Amino acid sequence: MKKLNLFILLLVLVALWGALSYNNLIRANKAVDNQWAQVENQYQRRLSLIPNLVNTVKGGSKQELAFAKEVTDARAAFANATTVDAKATAASNLETSLGRLIAVIEANPAIATVPLYQDLSAELAGTENRIAVERGRYNDNVTQINIAVKTFPSNMIANLFGFEERTLFKAEVGAEKEPEVNF
């Protein structure tokens, strides 16, 4: 009888551990989803600012218009992306285009002194900082769930219920380089 009670107690403890591990994986997974939503929120803020920035630049030269078109095309690519990985890639391309556009604008004092441009530029810089913070938080949450999915003993529950590693946000190759602007 004691062996049966001990076996039942052991089963209850294993079931309790399994339930707690499962719930922790669900929480971590939802935290990643929520944090990605925060990243997308900041991307949307950026996308809302871009048309105003592009319209401000449109009064400039043909070269500046080419950069403005590049930004508009990159914005459209981001808007059409459907997966986290596709959005991350499109966002990196958009950042590269914005960097080149801003470099062109800064090189043109006539545009750089327009108050609307100055305001938009400040808003865009603030938005880029917010995006960087939210991406960092997203990667922190992804790292937490990835650790839980890969480490023993929670990996047993993760495998049983189909939890998988999530993708960290990574900058595109070459993103560490300053954009090159040639006239």
Residue 169 has pLDDT above 90, yes or no: no
Section 1-6 average pLDDT = 87
Q: Is the pLDDT of residue 60 over 80?
A: no
For residue 41, the model assigns a pLDDT of: 85
SS3 3: helix
Q: Residue 12's pLDDT is what?
A: 93
DSSP class of residue 23 equals H
DSSP H stretches of helix in the chain: 2-57, 62-80, 84-107, 109-112, 115-150, 154-161
Question: Could you read off the pLDDT of 63-87 as tens digits, one per residue?
Answer: 566 667 777 888 888 888 888 888 8
pLDDT for 22 equals 94
pLDDT at 182: 47
Whether the CB-CB separation of 134 and 97 falls below 8 Å is answered with: no
Using the predicted structure, report yes or no on whether residue 45 has a pLDDT greater than 90: no
Q: How far apart are CA 181 and CA 108, in angstroms?
A: 12
Residue 90 is predicted with a pLDDT of 84
Check: CB of residue 143 under 8 Å from CB of residue 28. no
